[in-house]
């Protein structure tokens, strides 16, 4: 019988796979197309990546550390090149990984104030992954619109 995993172990494994998949997507888009956006109301490719990064840092800091998140500081000197954007995204994934790895599993039951009402930290954990998935799907469309074959899906 296969050993059961905890929500924390399952998240950390999925998080690493999500990281690898998103980084492959980020690498797939040529740097001269990082400003591509399908419509005026949407973010461009690079801004999607930086938005994902910002959300990770916000949720990881606010709900899984004692640190204070400074959104204004994050907006200062945003990465301007593909290499720097990918590096910043990698660092954000690694930051969240370490925060969750060091979280006591019992803490996932703790309720926190969230703009959408009281949520458990387990719900925040799920939101971390869901937000990445949401925007990654948009980035896959960006690649397809530019006749760039997206990388093969990385699931579990």
pTM of the predicted model as reported, rounded to 2 decimal places: 0.93
CATH number at residue 23: 1.20.120.450
Q: What is the dihedral of CA 39, 87, 81, 53, to 10 degrees?
A: 30
Residue 83 counted as domain residue? yes
Residue 155 counted as domain residue? no
Residue-wise pLDDT for 111-149, tens only, equals 999 988 999 999 999 999 999 999 999 999 999 999 999
Structural domain count of the chain: 1
Range of the domain at 31: 12-145
**What residues form DSSP beta bridges with 111?**
120
Residue-wise pLDDT for 28-61, tens only, equals 999 999 999 999 999 999 999 999 999 999 999 9
Residue 4 counted as domain residue? no
Number of Cβ within 10 Å of residue 26's Cβ equals: 22
Residue 6 counted as domain residue? no
Q: What letter does residue 102 receive in the DSSP assignment?
A: T
Those residues whose C-beta lies under 8 Å from the C-beta of residue 113, and which sit 6 or more positions away, are: none
Cα–Cα distance measured from residue 110 to residue 129, given in angstroms and rounded to the nearest whole number: 19
Specify whether the CB–CB gap between 36 and 146 falls below 8 A.
Answer: yes
pLDDT value of position 54: 96
pLDDT value of position 156: 65
Residue 138 counted as domain residue? yes
């Amino acid at each position: 019988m296969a050993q059961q995993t905890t929500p924390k172990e399952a998240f950390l494994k999925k998080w690493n796979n999500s990281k690898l998949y998103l980084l492959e997507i980020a690498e797939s888009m040529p740097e001269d197309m990082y400003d591509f956006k399908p419509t005026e109301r949407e973010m461009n490719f690079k801004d999607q990546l930086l938005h994902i990064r910002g959300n990770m840092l916000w949720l990881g800091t606010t709900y899984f550390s004692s640190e204070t998140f400074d959104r204004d500081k994050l907006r200062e000197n945003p990465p301007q090149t593909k290499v720097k954007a990918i590096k910043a995204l990698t660092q954000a994934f690694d930051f969240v990984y370490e925060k969750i790895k060091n979280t006591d599993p019992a803490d996932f039951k703790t309720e926190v104030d969230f703009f959408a009402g009281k949520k458990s930290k387990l719900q925040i954990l799920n939101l971390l992954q869901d937000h990445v998935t949401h925007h990654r799907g948009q980035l896959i469309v960006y690649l397809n619109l530019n006749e760039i074959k997206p990388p093969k899906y990385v699931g579990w």
